[in-house]
Chain A
Amino acid sequence: MKFTKTFDKALWVFHLNSGSCNGCDIEIVAAITPRYDVERFGIKLVGSPRHADVLLFTGPVTRKMKSRVLRVYHQTPDPKVVMVIGNCGSTTGVFYDSYAIEGPIDTLLPKDAHIIYVNGCPVRPENIINGVKEAWLHLEKLRGDNR
């Protein structure tokens, strides 16, 4: 699947809480408030993974959420990008030796998934916007490779 330039400028985002403490989730909501207003970059929060281009996963993946994370990933139409919001998702963070944790997320998803990591505990809204910039850079690099 190709990532065209319009894809960058119209990212529709689906947010799934994969066992997070809700800290990162409220920071995602903070990023769409008037103060940060990510809609000015064309980013829109949608209600269904079928509409989404970007999946926001927050939290280390708990056992119960593992199958849901994979299902939501496969329900999303290609091309798609995954953004892992918060330390828990990228490293499992303070829950690293828990018996209930299956994560981190990148060990579960298929190897060809495009994953962007946004760190912080919880992440700041500025950092989420920075993560979107990282995603744009990643996609630009991909387009350069395709050419």
Chain B
Amino acid sequence: MSWNDLALRVVLVIIIPFVGIFLGLLYKGFDRKITAMMQSRIGPPWRQPFRDVSKLFMKENIIPDNAVPWIFNGAPIAALVAAFVALVYLPLGPFEPVMEGYGDLILVLYLLAIPAVAMAFGGLASGSPYATVGAQRELVLMMSYEFPLAIAAVTIAWRYGSFSLGVISSDPVWNLVGSMGAIGLVLVLTTMVAVLPGELSKVPFDQAEAETELAGGILVEYSGRNLGIFYLAEVVKMIVVGTLMIALFFPHNISDWYSFGGPEFAGLVVADTLLDVGFFLLKLLIIIFSSVSLIRVAFSRFQIDRASYFYWVPMTIIGLLGTFLVVLEGVI
């Protein structure tokens, strides 16, 4: 690796978190606006999340007397940093991942678990019974959705024979399978769509926060800056999960089908890239709409045991069936 290359990567690693925060808050705003429109409300303006965060960073930061301060303050930062690091390993639109190597996918799956664990630790350290109940629910839910998520990831990785996200996103998985494999992939995709709201603690699976029963659950004692950092971690995680889903299932680019011109015209290459970036943002919007906004409006909160059952039994069976079909076709 040359010095130029290294310098470029360092700069990108510094820039990407800001891109993640901006996109996350933007999509959160769209999510709230679209949700409001589906409920025949007017809804907040799309820039509302930016206002919320800037307000939270201005508020007083209270640390309860019976909290453990270093865990209580460290948990939000750990959650946010893990989300940033996961974003660095993912291919954003037409661009290659900034950091790559072997087993990126496994690393990203572990990094996705860290925000949830950090939230649980923060809840347990805040010394409130509501937060303790919320933390237990978060851990139960995490144990439930991790297995279907791992099934989806492993199925895709098996087809490529590689855990590298650069390899996986270079060629859409749908091109590698026949009709039986495609049915299997649709089943695996269903699992992934069902895992997304759980991963993001959105409405049918927001038992850990559950404002109406646990008064904010895990976050009950958090205020001001710490709450703002958790807010940012949540929105960045939304982008991470959406991008992961795009990288696994829909890494298509407009330039695969249509291109303005050859590499000899720099301006046309830039136009191609911009078109691909726009297409990526559109895919992200569609994924966030279909697996966050739509499900959030259509369902109400499950009981924690039913949520756990939902992931452990129906989703695991569907996922394993999909894997079976993909592997069977590959073996035949």
Residues of A within 8 A of B (CB): 1-2, 4, 6-7, 9-10, 12, 34, 37, 39-42, 45-48, 50-51, 53, 75, 77-79
Chain A residues in 8 Å Cβ range of B30? none
* Contact of B227 with A51 in the complex, beta carbons under 8 Å: yes
Q: List 11 A-B contacts (CB under 8 A).
A: A4-B55, A39-B32, A39-B41, A47-B211, A47-B216, A47-B220, A48-B221, A50-B216, A51-B219, A51-B227, A79-B60
Q: Assuming the A-B contacts A48-B220, A77-B60, A79-B59, are A42 and B48 also in contact, with contact meaning beta carbons closer than 8 angstroms in the complex?
A: yes
B179 close to A (CB within 8 Å): no
Once the chains bind, are A47 and B58 in contact (CB under 8 Å)? no
Are A46's CB and B216's CB within 8 A?
yes
Of A9, A34, A78, most buried by chain B (CB within 10 Å of CB) is: A9
Q: Indicate if the CB atoms of B41 and A40 lie closer than 8 Å.
A: yes
Q: Are B58 and A42 interface neighbours, CB within 8 A?
A: no
Q: Are A10 and B48 in contact (CB under 8 A)?
A: yes
Does B55 contact A48, Cβ atoms closer than 8 Å?
A: no
Q: How far is the CB of A40 from chain B (nearest CB, A)?
A: 4
Q: Which chain A positions have C-beta within 8 A of B62?
A: 50, 75, 77
Chain B residues within CB distance 8 Å of chain A: 32, 36, 39-45, 48, 51-52, 54-55, 58-62, 130, 211-212, 214-216, 219-224, 227
Q: Tell me whether A50 and B223 are in contact in the complex, defined as CB-CB below 8 angstroms, given that A1-B60, A7-B55 are known contacts.
A: yes
In the complex formed, the residue of A with least CB distance to B40 is: A34
A87 to B101, CA, bound (A): 67
Q: A1-B60, A42-B48, A77-B62 are in contact. Are A51 and B216 (CB under 8 A)?
A: yes
Residues of A within 8 Å of B48, CB to CB, are 9-10, 42
